[in-house]
């Protein structure tokens, strides 16, 4: 019996590709080339499955043009906003994602963003690397202390809960806004706010951990930034679409928020260049899940979904 053919759109971890090649007829991408739409569709000819990342976009037009042989898209990502799930359902294509396995890694990046923005790490590293660090004084590189501050979390989901847990290690008070209130077990003492606008005035730090949905796009806008207290710091390791760039950049220039730590952006990697010119930004290149352990786990989770599908079972992480 022939093995199912799987088109893999990006270079994956070695252990993941080894398992793929063992169990499937794997069309790998050893050069890690970014396939444009037409090339992606052409390479999918005769494939039974596609294993993509968030860098590939599957809208209604793509589903209309995909070969009929493609029956499942097993995403190497927890987010699946790059896939039009309604179009997938109409085309009869199953869609899966990789939840649960990247919460710790992403929460670590949230803490790095908070510390980096608060303690002016980007500015400090630049001083050292450019030999512009000349001396020390009590007024030199003074930032904001994280310990004991109040953190507001927008979205107490898988990542948000781990962020809250890590932040408690800094003796932070945790507030959160979510579509619905969590159980006492999930809250662990965090204070729930039904309205985001009611929470923002209390947030010395604000962490965006919501998914990309029509209701969350542009969530952090000028009106909500104005509600933050003086000295507030904003971090985002979720999706760039949560932020109104014009509003945040204007706020950073005016000193509210006083700083921002960003790992995700609109139109990445072609981000708004104004962020790069602001000294009060700490910027990372979307590395929330970028640990060896997490990337392996993401790949194995995607393969578990493929294994289940081709065994005639329901994939555990089906989203469409």
Q: Catalogue the active-site residues.
A: 239, 268, 286
Q: Which of 253, 258, 249 lies closest to 228, judged by CA?
A: 258
Tokens coding 13: 């971890």
Helix (H, G, I), strand (E, B) or coil at 196: helix
Strand pairing partners for 174?
151
Question: Counting beta carbons within 10 angstroms of the beta carbon of residue 121, is it exposed (0 to 12), middle (13 to 18) or buried (19 or more)?
Answer: middle
Tokens coding 256: 């509210």
> H or E stretch including 50?
strand 49-51
- Cis check: omega of the bond before 45, within 30 degrees of 0: no
Q: Which of 274, 251, 263, 279 lies closest to 112, judged by CA?
A: 263
Instruction: Give me the residue label for tokens 């679409």.
Output: 241
Distance CA 297, CA 76 (A): 10
Angle at 211 between CA 206 and CA 216, to 5 degrees: 75
Beta-strand relationship, 259-262 and 49-51 = unpaired
Q: Which of 288, 290, 292 lies closest to 112, judged by CA?
A: 288
Distance CA 151, CA 162 (A): 13
- With the CA atoms of 206, 78, 86 and 214 taken in that order, what torsion angle do they form, in degrees rounded to the nearest 10? 10
Contact in structure between 166 and 114 (CB atoms under 8 Å): no
Q: Which of 188, 178, 125 lies closest to 156, judged by CA?
A: 178
């Amino acid at each position: 019996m022939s093995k199912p053919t799987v088109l893999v759109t990006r270079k994956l971890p070695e252990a993941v590709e080894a398992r793929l090649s063992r169990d499937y007829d794997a069309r790998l991408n050893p050069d890690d080339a970014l396939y444009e739409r037409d090339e992606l569709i052409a390479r999918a000819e005769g494939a039974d499955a596609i294993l993509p990342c968030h860098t590939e976009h599957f809208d209604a037009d793509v589903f209309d043009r995909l070969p009929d042989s493609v029956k499942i898209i097993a995403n190497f990502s927890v987010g699946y906003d790059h896939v039009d799930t309604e179009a997938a359902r109409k085309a009869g294509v199953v869609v899966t994602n990789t939840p649960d396995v990247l919460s710790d890694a992403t929460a670590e990046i949230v803490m790095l963003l908070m510390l980096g923005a608060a303690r002016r790490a980007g500015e400090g590293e630049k001083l050292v690397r450019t030999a512009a660090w000349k001396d020390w004084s009590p007024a030199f590189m003074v930032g904001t202390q994280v310990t004991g501050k109040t953190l507001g979390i927008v979205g107490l989901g898988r990542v948000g809960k781990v962020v809250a847990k890590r932040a408690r290690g800094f003796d932070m008070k945790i507030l959160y806004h979510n579509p619905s209130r969590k159980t006492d077990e999930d809250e662990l003492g965090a204070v729930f706010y039904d309205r985001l606008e009611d929470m923002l005035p209390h947030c010395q730090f604000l962490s965006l951990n919501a998914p990309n949905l029509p209701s969350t796009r542009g969530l952090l806008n000028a009106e909500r930034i104005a509600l933050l207290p003086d000295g507030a710091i904003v971090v985002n390791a979720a999706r760039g679409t949560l932020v109104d760039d014009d509003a945040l950049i204007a706020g950073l220039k005016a000193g509210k928020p006083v700083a921002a730590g960003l790992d995700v952006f609109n139109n990445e990697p072609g981000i708004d260049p104004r962020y790069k010119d602001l000294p009060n930004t700490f910027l990372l290149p979307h590395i929330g899940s970028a640990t060896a352990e997490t990337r392996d786990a993401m790949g194995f989770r995607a393969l578990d979904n493929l294994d289940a599908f081709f065994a005639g079972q329901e994939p555990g992480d089906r989203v469409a």
